Each structure stands twice: as C-alpha cells, then as structure tokens.
Amino acid sequence: MINLWQAHLSFAMLLFLLLPAFGLPRLARIAVLGALLAVSFLPVGGLSLAAHMRSYIDDLALTTLVFMAWGCLRRLNILTPAPKDKTWVMVIFAILALVLYPATLGLSELDPYRFGYSPRPMLIVFGLLTLGLFYLRNWLGVVMLAVATLAFLLNIKPSQNYWDYLVDPLLGLYCCFALLLHALRRIGTRLMTARNNTSRSA
C-alpha cells in the first residue's frame, strides 16, 4: 500500500512542478496541489491515474520524492531558493545515474546494482558524503540522502536494494539534462561576453 501512496504523491508533485504557476497566490497553488492529489485517485480502466503513471516511471526513489517536495515548497514560496545546493545535488545524482544504469543494463561486465543488496560499503560512502554535505551546509543533499537511508532502514519499499532508494531514472535524467543545459548556458554566456569584448576592443 505504501507504494501506492508514493505513486499518488509522485503524481501530484510531478504534475504540480510541470504545470506553470499561472501567477496564482500561495493558497490557490496549495489548492492546485491538493486537487492534483485528488485527481491521482481517479480510476481509468480499473487503475488509478497514479497507478498508470507508476506503470511507466516505476516507484520513484525516496531522494526524488524529497527533491520534488523541495521543489513544491519553493514553488509555494515556503523555502527560499538555494541554487548552489541544487547544483551540487544534481552533480551527485547525475554521476550516480551515469555509473549505475549503463552498467546494470549490460554495457559493462561489472554490475554496480548488485552492491545495493549487501550495501555496507555503499553506506560508508554515502554516510561520509552526507556528513560532507552537512559540513558544506547543503541541506537539500543531506535531507535527500538521510531520508533515503532512513526509508531503506525501515524497508518501506518492496525492494531490498539500497540503490532503489537512492536514485531512479527520472531523477538521473533530470539531473543530467539540467546540468547539460546549465553548462550550455554558461558556455553561451561566456561566448557572448567574449564577442562583446572583442567588438568593443575593435
């Protein structure tokens, strides 16, 4: 049952983040989020809309739920923007996705997904990473990794694999594309600045 609650929360938060804000006041946006949660229960062909979405994107990792919750709170102006937090988090999860998925799907002889079944070495690495992020005051990263580990400890997903709590393809792809876009923007800005400087000196 917890899976379905995850699916309903994922459905509501994902659509809320994808939809434009329409300049609505905070209370109205909270109402939109609640309405989306209600919509996620609508049955279509014997399954709720949330279950349909879950069929294609699978149960999301706990980190993604925290990331989306953080996005929703920002959208509602409850949290202030913290761009540096987000960039480092995206770097971490993009690396995780790039390490995990191609290798697990057969492009490498090593299967890193296996490490998630006996995760003591992984727990040491992610424990140190979480403490490091805490030292750097990257609260978003700390909460994502701590909640994922707590959920793993409480066994709230049907998977016994630590990876399934840490990352999912949606988060991985989002981080990769967002970083790529970020890098392209920066390159574009630098090129523009360089061009402006050249034309000025000419």
Is residue 59 within 8 A of residue 4, CB to CB? The reply is: no
DSSP 105: I
Comparison of 87 and 104: residue with beta carbon closer to another protein: 104
Q: Which amino acid is at 167?
A: V
> Is residue 126 a contact point for another protein (CB under 8 A)?
yes
| Non-local CB neighbours of 35 within 8 Å, separated by 6+ positions | none
Q: Which amino acid is at 195?
A: R
CB of 189 to another protein, least distance (A): 32
Residue 130 in tokens:
């979480």
CB of 188 to another protein, least distance (A): 32
| Residue from 55, 77, 193, 197 in contact with another protein (CB under 8 A) | 55
Which residue do the tokens 């939109």 mark?
32
Alpha carbon distance, N-terminus to C-terminus of the chain: 68
> Is residue 43 a contact point for another protein (CB under 8 A)?
no
Q: Which residues bind another protein (CB under 8 A)?
A: 3-4, 7, 45-47, 51-52, 54-58, 100-102, 104-107, 109, 111, 113-114, 116-120, 123-124, 126-127, 130-131, 134, 142, 146, 149-150, 152-153, 157-164, 167-169
